Amino acid sequence: MLAKAKGQTAKVNINAALVEDIISLEEVKEDMAAVLTTLKEDFSRNLSIRTSPGALDHITVTTKDGKFPLNQLGQISMKSPQLLVVNMTGFPEATAAVTRALQDSSMGLNPEVEGTIIRVPVPKVTREHRENLVKLAKQFSNKAKDSLRKVRTNAVTRVKKSKEGVSEDTIHLIEKQDDLDLLLESPSSLTVNSTARGTVKEKAGFNPGEDAAALRKAMEGIGTTEKTLIDILTQRSNAQRQLICKAYHDATGRTLCDDLEGDTHGDFEDILVALVTPPAKFDCQEFIRAIKGAGTNERILIELFASRSNHQIKAMCDAYLAETGRALIHDLKSEVSGDFEKTLLILAEGKRDESATVDMAKAKQDAKGAGTTESTLIRIIVSRSELDLQDIKAEYKKLFGTSLYADIESETGGDFRQTLLKICGEDGK
């Protein structure tokens, strides 16, 4: 085991809710995405080995009518590996401008014009040229790294300046955060903190690649090893499960969700798919289910908007817009009315005051709901497993005189039961 370097601080994972009121994680993500977009453009513009017509697509041509991509002005074709041709018959007046753009493209091109035909000889890709490409790639990558560090530094600086209304402990935790990239990747899932009363915690020594490989092995061949699926997916936090999904897709080219749907069925399939679904998408799907059809499921709506943080509600609204092309609040207005509508709309705006304490009234309400249908049970067990499932279990026992674990054990069956029991945990655990 390697010893920790002198002066190195321990990694700290914090709840995104602690950060959201101080800095906008969405803005930080957008700034980082802009850096990556610039990097991609730099790669496309300067690192092409010029062996296909698409190598010229990124070139922008300035004309008297404005700026246009080259492929919108001329038809690009490849006559041979050493010759590209741009046919300017459609916009002959832009031939000179296209020629200048090719010459100024930093690709070392020397176009030859014959009427409305521009011939572009492709320079031989020499070893020297490839070495220059590698050097350029490193330069662009280092520039992007510096820009990403600057975005992160600016975010931390804003945190340090935000003393008003924020506890010193919270500021200290955020300043120590070494996993800002993970926080940005899955902010609504990082709920590992001292006040959490969930049954699912982050697994120490977590390796997403190893878990993805084990899941793949469990589903390949004849039959499926259900125990492996249960042991891995119920004993990892949501943030860790999302990293497993990414590793699985990188390794197989398929989504873990699709493979689970193909290898499992029934309630067991439903809960496994729920476990690997990103929280915002899961909530979005539940909202759609609540308003789908002739009636509206008010219980689901109450749970979604009353139990989610401001950040989670915003993420759900964003997911709904991406999924349907419509604003969630607009569709919510058409489904509810009266005081109930006013209350839900206030919650849906995601602007309520929040605290780090667990809502015991909400835990009691969820405890009542846990004794109903399988879909409700899945929703509560999955969405509350990292926050306050311990309190829901306690309230359930007060309400019904028996433990939630015991009732799951007696009222459900098969792999579905084993999955629920793993997440729920025995009493006192």
Residue 54 lies in a domain: no
How, if at all, do strands 112-114 and 117-121 pair?
Answer: antiparallel
pTM above 0.75, yes or no: no
* Final residue of a structural domain among 98, 124, 150: 124
Q: Rg (Cα) of the chain, in Å, rounded?
A: 27
pLDDT in tens, 108-145: 788 999 999 999 987 776 677 677 777 778 888 888 88
* Final residue of a structural domain among 167, 185, 203: 185
Rounded to an integer, what distance in angstroms lies between the CA atom of residue 393 and that of residue 213?
Answer: 33
Verify that 112 and 246 share a domain, yes or no: no
CA distances from 11 to 14, 179, 278 (A): 10, 7, 24
Verify that 364 and 305 share a domain, yes or no: yes
* Final residue of a structural domain among 106, 124, 142: 124
Nearest to 417 by CA among 271, 211, 212, 200: 271
At residue 167, the 3 state secondary structure works out as coil
The pLDDT value given to residue 87: 93
Verify that 212 and 324 share a domain, yes or no: yes
Residue 403 lies in a domain: yes
Verify that 305 and 372 share a domain, yes or no: yes
At residue 358, the 3 state secondary structure works out as coil
Residue 297 lies in a domain: yes
The pLDDT value given to residue 167: 55
Residue 17 lies in a domain: yes
Residue 3 lies in a domain: no
Q: Answer for the pair 82, 121: CB distance below 8 angstroms, yes or no.
A: yes
Number of domains in the chain: 3
The residue among 162 and 397 whose pLDDT is bigger is 397
Long-range CB contact pairs, 147-154, < 8 A, 24+: 147/35, 147/38, 148/32, 148/35, 151/28, 151/31, 151/32, 151/35, 152/28, 152/180
pLDDT for 38 beyond 90: no
The pLDDT value given to residue 113: 94
Verify that 181 and 256 share a domain, yes or no: no
Q: pLDDT band for position 46 (50/70/90)? A: low
Residue 108 lies in a domain: yes
Verify that 64 and 177 share a domain, yes or no: no
Verify that 167 and 36 share a domain, yes or no: yes
Cross-strand pairs, 63: 66
Residue 76 lies in a domain: yes
Residue 2 lies in a domain: no
Task: Domain of residue 178: give its range.
Answer: 9-49+127-185
Verify that 360 and 228 share a domain, yes or no: yes
Verify that 43 and 176 share a domain, yes or no: yes
Verify that 131 and 120 share a domain, yes or no: no
CATH number of the CATH domain containing 73:
3.30.1360.40
Verify that 230 and 120 share a domain, yes or no: no
The pLDDT value given to residue 212: 92
Verify that 111 and 132 share a domain, yes or no: no
Secondary structure percentages of the chain, helix, strand, coil, to 5: 60, 5, 35
For residue 197, count other CB atoms closer than 10 A to its CB. Answer: 16
